[in-house]
A and B are shown apart, each in its own frame.
Chain A
Amino acid sequence: MQAPSSVRTLVIAAVAAVLLMVPLAVSAADAAPNDTCMMCHGDGAAKNAAGKSITVDAKSFAGSVHGQMSFKCTDCHSDVSADKLPHEPKLKPANCAACHEAPVKEYLATAHAKARAGGNMVAATCSNCHGVHDIQKSSEPASRTNVARIESTCGSCHGNDAVIQKAKLPGGNIVSQYHDSIHGQKTNGKGPAATKAPTCTGCHGAHKILTKNDPESRVNREHIALMCGSCHQQVYSRFSASQHGQMRQAGNSAAPTCIDCHSAHRIQQHAGTQWQLDVIKECGNCHQDFIATYRDTYHGQVTQLGFTRVATCNSCHGAHDVLPASNPKSMVSPENRVNTCRSCHPGANANFAAYEPHGNPHDRVGNPILYYTRLFMQLLLAGVFTFFGIHTLLWLIRSLKEVGKGRGGHDGH
């Protein structure tokens, strides 16, 4: 037997009503406060008394990490109560530390936080890097803190010339420098290196960004080699065994570390002409006598003219493994010198290698032969030019007089 159609309709309606009520009831319990907020903040044209937009993009919040976790607005804006609306025009900043205690604690010790505490409100706080209502996990490709987007996130200040000038940010436009560096080229490129090459946070850290002068900083001079070495392990071990590395280990903080030759943000591949030419000057910053004598050689002259291919400092001394000539392992030690010359001059022999690449003709005691050779040549030049300079000048004056008299100046008349 069949129930009357009216009864059937009623049952269907009841079941449908119940089924519909369940989600409504659930959302009434959780989302109702957000709906209340969105009554005002969901209006795209809504402005506060000062004329500033107060719109919150509901869709963007729903997609954020907090939205996905069904946060209520009042979870962060705890000083707003549904009982008292409209709320005060000025709310307290969201207290991220209420949940994220450890990173905020790290942040509070950093250059950014100290600058803010000192009244510099340009300095980044949580929301400048993570966003406000649209915060995403850094593993999300769209997140501001995703590896692929860190450069532009940091760059919104450290790559923005107007902000850099206004806030006197250290180092100038370091993000632009980074962008053109080998690291920046990798992270902005494709392939496996894109996620492995360091972006800003790779060296500076995420929350604990300290200035390079802070002994705790990852980019402090004392920690640079170790930090670069965390990726460049083989270079690190060669550098540690080198003269420079040993000097650093002995506590000489003036001894060069990675960034002195490679720079901090402009790091280039060593094959580049400009880098090869620049690094000569880097060596010369400390080794002034040696760059002066290097510039007297053909190698030094050609590189100064702006060309490579000829020997630069590291061609003979090595790069990361530079050692003094007294060390038998050094490329310029008496044992290895001929082989070092042969890397470019295949026919080099012991005499060839006895050429003094840093012979100083100004050093009478150390290089008497060169000193007196140069002295002789200079006296010769001075003598010839003095005699003929006078000869020419007197001749010119006399000839001009002859011409003035209407005479040719030929002799014998």
Chain B
Amino acid sequence: MSSSTLNAARPIAAAPERYYRRFAPTERVMHALLMLTFIGCALTGVPLLFADHTWAGTLVAFIGGFRAAALIHRVCAAIMSVVFVGHVLRVFIRALLSEDWLGYFWGPNSLVPNLKDGQDIVGMFKWFFGKGPRPQFDRYTYWEKFDYWAVFWGMFIIGGSGFMLWFPTFFSEFLPGWVFNVAMIVHGEEALLAVGFIFTIHFFNGHLRPEKFPMDLVVFTGRLPEHELKGERPLEYQRLVSAGRLQSLEAQAPSAQAVLYSRLLGTLGLTLGVLTILVIIYSAVV
């Protein structure tokens, strides 16, 4: 493995390399929308959790007051909900259309955890301590699956509690009053978990770790170079080769423009996310 793999975007300038499609356009758009609406909700929601700090009032005033912040929060939440429902529908429609619907949920292309993920966790910890080779991964690693299910769970918890707090008169038609107290606690704590997780762990796993620093553009461009597919997801690569499907996934290298826009979007997300984390840490310490 050459050190050029340190930077995912660098190979476009180097010798021409084969690229393969990893994410469909729909998935890329969904991730971008999820990312932007998540940041929108975080920037307008986190100040409430730290309302006793001066920066929080300043930030909300900068956004245009609490009503503007509330509006942005709800617009982002609504878009995010549509993306989420759209994703779930898409998964089930594709599963139904697939010849092997069971394999769709329970195969190497699925995000459903399996025994190998458990073995991989143990394997990674052995590798951390130099006690074994780095595990061989397929299409989705266990940390990517955790990211996915964390968001999935978060959608129900934060989204569900959020809608209760957004439409309390509607929900109180059939829910007792204490549910709203629970919703308030759950919404804030789970949001803190989501923000804390995405802006640190997901950022590190996906973008900031030395192999990817400062960011991995695959989720924006949708394609990754051959050496990454071979190196990071060897089981998937071998599977695609032996199934004779690799060819069908071959794609053009992302255009310079696509890389530029991806970098801008990635930089925006990473910057706002890291700033949010710094402010949270500052508030927790001070």
Instruction: Give A contacts to B, CB under 8 Å.
Output: 295-298, 300-302, 304-307, 309-310, 345-349, 351-356, 359, 361, 367, 369-370, 373-374, 377-378, 380-381, 384-385, 388-389, 391-392, 394-400, 402-403, 406-413
Contacts and interface: CB of A to CB of B under 8 A. Distances in A.
B114 interface: no
A302 B66 contact: yes
B108 interface: no
Interface stretch (B90-98, B169-177, B241-249): B169-177
14 contacts: A298-B48, A301-B48, A304-B51, A310-B66, A345-B169, A351-B176, A352-B172, A377-B186, A380-B193, A391-B125, A403-B6, A408-B3, A408-B6, A412-B134
B192 A408 contact: no
B57 A305 contact: yes
A295 B172 CA distance: 22
B282 interface: no
Interface stretch (B77-85, B197-205, B260-268): B197-205
Contact of A408 (B5, B48, B67): B5
B interface SS class: helix
Interface residues of B, number: 67
B210 A305 contact: no
A398 B132 CA distance: 12
Nearest to B181: A359
> Can you list the 4 inter-chain pairs with the closest CB atoms, starting with the nearest?
A354-B177, A410-B231, A347-B169, A411-B134
B51 A295 contact: yes
B48 A399 contact: no
B163 interface: no
B193 A349 contact: no
Interface in B223-241: 227-228, 230-232, 234
A96 to B, nearest CB: 55
Contacts of B143: 391
Nearest to B130: A398
Given A397-B128, A412-B134, A388 B177 contact: no
Interface in B134-190: 134-137, 143, 150, 165, 168-170, 172-178, 180-182, 184-186, 189-190
A94 to B, nearest CB: 57
A18 to B, nearest CB: 86
B232 A411 contact: yes
B222 interface: no
Contacts of B174: 351
B209 interface: yes
B51 A301 contact: yes
Contact of B128 (A304, A374, A398, A407): A398
A158 to B, nearest CB: 33
B211 A370 contact: no
A389 B193 CA distance: 13
B285 interface: no
A339 to B, nearest CB: 14
Given A305-B51, A385-B196, A408-B1, A352 B168 contact: yes
Q: Which of A346, A355, A402, A407 has the most CB of B within 10 A?
A: A355
A359 B184 CA distance: 10
B99 interface: no
Contact of A355 (B47, B136, B177): B177
A395 B211 CA distance: 11
